[in-house]
Every structure is written in structure tokens, then in C-alpha cells.
Amino acid sequence: MTDERDTLIREIGRACELGDVSAIHHLLHPAVVALVDSGGDLIAETEPVFGVIEVAQQLLELCHGTSVAAQDVNGVLALVVRRALRVTGVIAFDTTAEQVTHVWITLNPLKLRRWNS
């Protein structure tokens, strides 16, 4: 399952970077849930985000105008979002063999500090 998971994460990263809404929708499970950790310092959703359209919108907003790279984060592949070489977000996923079921978006500047030092 790891190879399929990693391929799926790379595909969603490419779709997010390109702004390909249709591809993102296809890669998200209909019951997908996203949680955003902004640390309270940023304007971001504080409640879970449910559904393909809403989660896709969160991903597109985060990735617009950035570079997105698949990288190892805590032993699993995740997406690292950079704006002007500075990490602005880390996105982790749970997946089935074919779709993303859960998305964890870390925007909290304190948690991203080690990425930018």
C-alpha cells in the first residue's frame, strides 16, 4: 500500500500546484475530512472541513502561488508547501488505495519554525 499511497500523494501535490480542481476532486474520497492547525495566529478554518468540494478549496487556497514538494515528514510522505523558499504549510494524508480520506494541514508558525531555520 505504501507505493500506491506515495503515488496518490504525489498526484494530489501536482494537482494542487497546477490548480487542477477536477483532478483534486477525483483524488479525494467523497467523505474526506480536513483538519487545519493554524496555531490560532492565522486566518484559517478552526473546525473540521468535510467533503470533496470544501477540502479541495482548502488545498487550492493553501497551494495557490506556491511550490509543492512531496517529502518525508515523520517517516511518511507528505506535501511541503513553500512560498519564496519559506515553508508555509505541511500537509499529511490518510488514504485508501485509491483516494485521500483525511487531510491534516499544519500552518502553525511555531510548528513550522524548524523548517525555516
pLDDT tens per residue across span 98-116: 999 999 999 988 899 999 9
* Contact partners, residue 44, CB within 8 Å, separation at least 6: 36, 38, 105, 107
Which pLDDT score is estimated for 115? 93
Number of structural domains, the chain? 1
Position 2 confidence tier, pLDDT thresholds 50, 70, 90: confident
Grid cell 474520497 — which residue?
29
**What is the tens place of the pLDDT at every residue in 20-52?**
999 999 999 999 999 998 765 555 556 899 999
Q: At 84, list the grid cell.
A: 519564496
**What is the tens place of the pLDDT at every residue in 78-101?**
999 999 999 999 999 999 989 999
Which pLDDT score is estimated for 39? 66
Which pLDDT score is estimated for 47? 82
* Contact partners, residue 48, CB within 8 Å, separation at least 6: 33, 34, 35
CATH code for position 84: 3.10.450.50
Which pLDDT score is estimated for 8? 95
Which residues form the domain of 111? 2-116
Alpha-carbon distances of 96 from 5, 32, 41, 82, 115, rounded to whole Å: 8, 11, 32, 27, 28
Flag whether pLDDT at 7 surpasses 80: yes
